[in-house]
């Protein structure tokens, strides 16, 4: 494989489109655009805003979060771990304390409670990182020239190329109709 050919191939790979990006100047316009995209049948689109916009997940039609199940599983694991821990330490290394029976569960309820809470918190914290695929040091949206404004005054919407309804010209037209500014096709 000669050098020029290889370079070409790399460039072709790099030029694969990630999606179309544009932005709005108010949360209301973004909300409206997301509802229209949802109604037009788009599934893989995302919004980036300078602050949390309440109700946006409903406008985008996002499914309910799976976090509660992760937290429930983690909390149950914590409870069972605490029961196992207190059971085995009191059987393996029995100590008579103020004449109480070996496995005095009453005294261990705070441990069971605390481990349930601790594991639930871990589940919520690390579950959030995992589901958001964090830490993420690069994302294609950063290629949009005005993307820094997503932390300031611009409400971005990105329609991803992997969406089955994605069509570079039709999607661009839809975004234009919705009033998006500076519509750019970013690459991966």
Partner 1 sequence: MSQAAAMTAGRATGGKAKTDDARKLPKDVGDTLTKAGMGLAVVGVAAAGAGYAMDAKRFAFSYLIGFLFVATIALGGLFFVLVQHLARAGWSVAARRQMEWLAGLLPAVAVLAIPIFLWAHDLYHPWMGPQAATDPILQKKAGYLNPSFFYGRSAFYLVVWVALGLYFMRNSRAQDESGDLKLTEKMQTASAPAMILFALTTTFAAFDWVMSLDPHWYSTIFGVYVFAGCATSSLSVLALITVQLQQRGYFRKVSTVEHRHDIGKLLFGFIVFFAYIGFSQFLLIWYADIPEETIWYHHRWDDAGWAKVSLAIFFGHFLIPFLLLLSRHAKRHGMVLSLGAVIMLVMHYVDLYWLVMPTFDHHFHFSVVDICGLLGPLGIAAFLVARQAAQGPLYPLRDPRLAETVKVDNP
Binding site for partner 1 (CB under 8 A): 31, 35, 54-55, 57-59, 68, 72, 98-99, 106-107, 109-110
How many Å apart are CA 90 and CA 96, to the nearest integer?
A: 10
106 or 169: CB nearest partner 1: 106
Please report the DSSP string for 23-76 in residue order: EESSHHHHHHHHHHHHHTT--SEEEE-SS--TTHHHHHTPPPPSHHHHHHHHHH
The 8-class DSSP code of residue 80 comes to: H
109 or 134: CB nearest partner 1: 109
Q: Is 119 within 8 Å of 81 (Cβ atoms)?
A: yes
Give Cα separations from 174 to 20, 27, 62, 122, 168 (angstroms): 11, 18, 20, 42, 10
Contacts of 39 (CB under 8 A, 6+ apart): none
Cβ 4 to partner 1, closest distance in Å? 53
Cβ 149 to partner 1, closest distance in Å? 25
Cβ 33 to partner 1, closest distance in Å? 14
55 or 145: CB nearest partner 1: 55
73 or 184: CB nearest partner 1: 73
Cβ 110 to partner 1, closest distance in Å? 7
Contacts of 101 (CB under 8 A, 6+ apart): none
91 or 109: CB nearest partner 1: 109
Cβ 104 to partner 1, closest distance in Å? 9
The 8-class DSSP code of residue 135 comes to: S
Cβ 22 to partner 1, closest distance in Å? 22
20 or 59: CB nearest partner 1: 59
């Amino acid at each position: 494989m000669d050098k020029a050919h290889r370079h070409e191939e790399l460039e072709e790979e790099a030029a694969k489109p990630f999606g179309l990006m544009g932005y709005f100047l108010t949360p209301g316009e973004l909300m409206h655009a997301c509802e229209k995209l949802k109604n037009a049948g788009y599934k893989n689109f995302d919004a980036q805003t300078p602050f949390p916009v309440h109700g946006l997940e409903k406008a985008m039609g996002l499914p309910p979060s799976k976090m509660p199940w992760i937290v429930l599983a983690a909390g149950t694991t914590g409870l069972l771990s605490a029961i196992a821990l207190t059971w085995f330490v009191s059987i393996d290394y029995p100590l008579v304390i103020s004449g109480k029976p070996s496995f005095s569960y009453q005294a261990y309820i705070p441990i069971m409670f605390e481990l349930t809470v601790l594991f639930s918190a871990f589940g919520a914290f690390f579950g959030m990182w995992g589901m958001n695929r964090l830490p993420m040091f690069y994302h294609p949206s950063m290629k949009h020239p005005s993307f820094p404004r997503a932390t300031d005054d611009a409400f971005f919407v990105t329609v991803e190329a992997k969406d089955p309804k994605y069509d570079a010209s039709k999607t661009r037209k839809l975004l234009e109709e919705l009033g998006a500014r500076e519509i750019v096709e970013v690459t991966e």
